[in-house]
């Protein structure tokens, strides 16, 4: 009797990726397979698969993390099916929640991949990923900028130096900076501390301006159409428009407002059991940076757009934070509509 293979054998590889080593678990469609450690090198894994599973259809998956998507792109270049998954999407049984090792993580990823229960996250192209790195660098500088301003204010408070009333606000004008430079302390050491902090403040201030300019210039040059559409929406300025383009990419990939709202984190959580039903507020699973940008943009939108202002006033009497989230959701919906229809936003007029 002649036997013949009627189906392509399949190999499922779950990888727990770290900087110095990978923990890999290989399972086939028939057997649970084995786990092993290896150097963080996709070529080494390719050689292993070619040696032991030459005729297999290969699928790989690993958790999104600090190592980025370079391994994913290498796996796809080999002709393998590859997924990068959100760690929260990997199902763990009750007893597995209390035990965590790299080996167990790799086995879980392989098992979920084999059972078809994994959905990959969106992988940006290289250009978009590198643009996103510039946007995130700007946000790092914003944090540094706020921090050094706080340090300077704290030093003044600690030494009992009161600011003139005209400078008692968040705007650091050139006059205020000169006043800081002219402060006289009893000892030179305190003056040296303030001078050092002022040098760092000016450095971060200039870096923030330069990076913001580069970011806007790039988006205007290479994503001009979408950038100008986003800028037509009240509340969305140049930096917010850049953030949407960098972090969310092409909004046309979202099928609906519900899909986009779930990704950004402006969708409500719900809990229903029998006849009991309650909403839990916005979901904790979110793109927190973009969500915060939309909330900030909503405060500007209700000042500039009468329709958005009327929507805000319609819910007055409730918690202000809840109302602004509703406005942010509406602004998100209109942002998606502007991009999909490719029609600039028109400020509404109330009759």
Residue 87: exposed, middle, or buried by beta-carbon count in 10 A (0-12, 13-18, 19+)? Answer: exposed
| Nearest-angstrom CA–CA distance, 185 and 192 | 10
Residue 107: exposed, middle, or buried by beta-carbon count in 10 A (0-12, 13-18, 19+)? Answer: buried
The residue to which tokens 């009327």 are assigned: 310
C-alpha 133 chain-centroid distance: 11
Q: Which structure tokens are listed for 196?
A: 């050092």
How would you write the pLDDT of the chain (351 residues) with one tens digit per residue? 555 555 789 999 999 999 999 999 999 988 888 899 999 999 999 999 999 998 899 999 999 988 999 999 999 999 999 999 999 888 888 777 788 889 999 999 999 999 999 999 999 999 999 999 999 999 999 999 999 999 999 999 999 999 988 888 888 999 999 999 999 998 999 999 999 999 999 999 999 999 999 999 999 999 999 999 999 999 999 999 999 999 999 999 999 999 999 999 988 877 777 778 777 778 888 899 999 999 999 999 999 999 999 999 988 888 888 899 999 999 999 999 999 999 999 886 544
Of the candidates 267, 266, 215, the residue with the CA atom closest to the CA atom of residue 245: 215
Long-range own/partner contacts, residues 27-35 (CB < 8 A, 24 or more apart): 27/110, 27/111, 27/114, 28/53, 28/56, 29/114, 33/110, 35/103, 35/106, 35/107
HSE (side-chain half, CA atoms, 13 Å) at 240: 23
Domains along the sequence of the chain with CATH? 10-115 (3.30.420.40), 126-232 (no CATH), 251-341 (no CATH)
C-alpha 21 chain-centroid distance: 26
Instruction: Count helices and strands (H / E) in the chain.
Output: 12, 7
Q: How confident is the model over 121-179, as pLDDT tens digits?
A: 999 999 999 999 999 999 999 999 999 999 999 999 999 999 988 888 888 999 999 99
Do 252 and 245 touch, CB atoms closer than 8 A?
Answer: no
């Amino acid at each position: 009797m002649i036997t013949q293979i009627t189906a392509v054998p399949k190999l499922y590889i779950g990888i727990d990726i770290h900087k110095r080593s990978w923990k890999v678990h290989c399972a086939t469609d028939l057997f649970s397979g084995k786990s092993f450690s290896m150097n963080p090198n996709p070529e080494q894994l390719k050689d292993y698969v070619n040696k032991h599973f030459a005729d297999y259809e290969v699928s790989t998956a690993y958790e999104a993390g600090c190592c980025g998507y370079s391994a994913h792109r290498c796996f796809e270049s080999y002709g393998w099916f590859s997924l990068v998954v959100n760690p929260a999407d990997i199902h763990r049984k009750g007893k597995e929640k209390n035990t965590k090792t790299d080996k167990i993580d790799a086995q879980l990823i392989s098992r979920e991949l084999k059972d078809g229960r994994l959905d990959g996250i969106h992988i940006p192209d290289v250009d978009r990923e590198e643009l996103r790195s510039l946007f995130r660098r700007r946000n790092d500088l914003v944090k540094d900028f706020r921090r050094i301003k706080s340090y300077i204010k704290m030093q003044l408070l600690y030494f009992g130096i009161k600011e003139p009333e005209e400078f008692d606000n968040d705007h650091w004008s050139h006059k205020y900076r000169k006043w800081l430079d002219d402060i006289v302390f009893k000892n030179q050491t305190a003056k040296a501390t303030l001078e050092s902090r002022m040098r760092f403040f000016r450095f971060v201030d200039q870096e923030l301006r330069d990076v913001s300019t580069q970011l806007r210039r790039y988006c205007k040059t290479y994503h001009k159409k979408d950038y100008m559409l986003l800028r037509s929406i009240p509340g969305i300025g140049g930096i917010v428009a850049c953030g949407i383009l960098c972090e969310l990419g092409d909004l046309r990939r979202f099928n609906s407002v519900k899909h986009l709202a779930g990704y950004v984190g402006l969708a409500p959580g719900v809990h229903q059991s029998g006849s009991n039903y309650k909403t839990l507020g916005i979901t904790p699973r979110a793109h927190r940076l973009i969500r915060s940008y939309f909330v900030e943009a909503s405060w500007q939108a209700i000042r500039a757009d009468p329709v958005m202002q009327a929507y805000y006033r319609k819910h007055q009497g409730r918690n202000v934070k809840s109302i602004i989230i509703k406005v942010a959701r509406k602004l998100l919906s209109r942002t998606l509509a502007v991009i999909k229809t490719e029609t600039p936003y028109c400020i509404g007029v109330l009759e």
